[in-house]
Structure 1
Amino acid sequence: MERDCCFRWEDGIFRYRAAAIIIENGCVLMAGNERADYCYSVGGGVHLGETAEDAVVREVLEETGMRYEIDRLAFIHEDFYDGDGAAIGLRCHEVAFYFLMKPRGSQKLNSHSVCSEGRESMHWIPLDELGKYKAFPAFFAEKLQNIPMQAEHIVTVE
């Protein structure tokens, strides 16, 4: 059984995550689920012994049903926040690598994804409207308007 690079201590959780930035026709693909009142980037935990690159390709296929290729690393995000869902009441520390994926030229998906919060749904959100949504990571609303050519390190403390 594969294990995510994640550990828990008394009052907190650390998680290593790989996530995708999938943009097609001026829209970014975001995920949601049955319990959350927000949307989030496609991606998930990196398994022990797995590279972040392999993890993002695997996660995108699992969540969208489509195979995407990596273009480049766009962001490294250190995120400190109070947990919700299964992590409610815990202090969370997440390190995530966000990879820009190569466009396929189609928004067609074959998603049947399920997460710990229930069935997931995929949403194509116009880049110029992303700021109107409760979406995570929050920096997407600004940074996806002009994605840097070099990977950018972002730290968020909520």
Structure 2
Amino acid sequence: MDISFQTVEGRFNYRVAGLLIHDGKLLIMKDQNQSYYYVPGGRVMLNETSERAITREMEEELSIEVNVKRLLWVNENFFIEATLREKFHEICFFYLVELKNQELLSKGNEFTENENGKIHTYYWVAIEELKEMNLYPLFLKERILELPTSVGHIVETK
């Protein structure tokens, strides 16, 4: 069971995200009918560690295996999701991950995956170009330029 639940006041999400960087590019994604980009990841399941969750999510979404290098940030994010128009309170653990093999790179700079009927389009984008994109959460646009050596805690309210 995913740790996500609806209340009268909005939705709570516990999620993980993986920063996959190759040749100065970050892998980001966008779903059909959405106006914004984000990094791959998903919800943590009950009784699952966040580290196990990011490896599972990368397997499910991209059919790849990753090595988890380290936890970068814990993000408390309060926002209204643009597509659903739903108020969110989200806790997200951002991990730096690396590919176990290079197969994903053969798909090119833009490719589409079907995850159980949900269409995701992935893009390898130069890190310096992220500032100009509609990428969430917003802190990534700046903080991706210099990855921390210890875990950071970031709170965003919108």
What TM-score, normalized to structure 2?
A: 0.89
Partners of 1:95 and 1:75 in 2: CA distance: 10
- The residue number in structure 2 matching 1:51 is 49
- The residue number in structure 2 matching 1:21 is 19
* Cα distance, 1:83 vs structure 2: 2.5
Partners of 1:4 and 1:115 in 2: CA distance: 16
* Cα distance, 1:111 vs structure 2: 6.0
Q: Is the 8 A contact 1:21 1:29 kept in 2?
A: yes
* Identity among equivalent pairs (%): 27
* Cα distance, 1:120 vs structure 2: 0.4
State the number of aligned residues: 153
Q: 1:120 to 1:66 in 2, by over 3 A?
A: same
Q: 1:70 aligns with which of 56, 68, 71?
A: 68
* Cα distance, 1:101 vs structure 2: 0.6
Aligned partner of residue 40 in structure 2, secondary structure:
strand
- The residue number in structure 2 matching 1:98 is 94
* Cα distance, 1:7 vs structure 2: 1.2
- The residue number in structure 2 matching 1:60 is 58
What TM-score, normalized to structure 1?
A: 0.89
Q: 1:121 to 1:94 in 2, by over 3 A?
A: same
- The residue number in structure 1 matching 2:135 is 135
Partners of 1:51 and 1:105 in 2: CA distance: 24
Long gaps (5+) in structure 2: none
Q: Is the 8 A contact 2:78 2:156 kept in 1?
A: yes
> Where does 1:76-155 land on structure 2 (aligned, <5 Å)?
76-85=74-83, 87-88=84-85, 90-103=86-99, 106=102, 107-109=105-107, 112-114=113-115, 118-155=118-155
Partners of 1:34 and 1:115 in 2: CA distance: 14
Q: C-alpha root-mean-square deviation of aligned residues, in Å?
A: 1.9
Partners of 1:129 and 1:76 in 2: CA distance: 24
The letter for the 1-side match of 2:137 is: P
The letter for the 2-side match of 1:26 is: G
Long gaps (5+) in structure 1: none
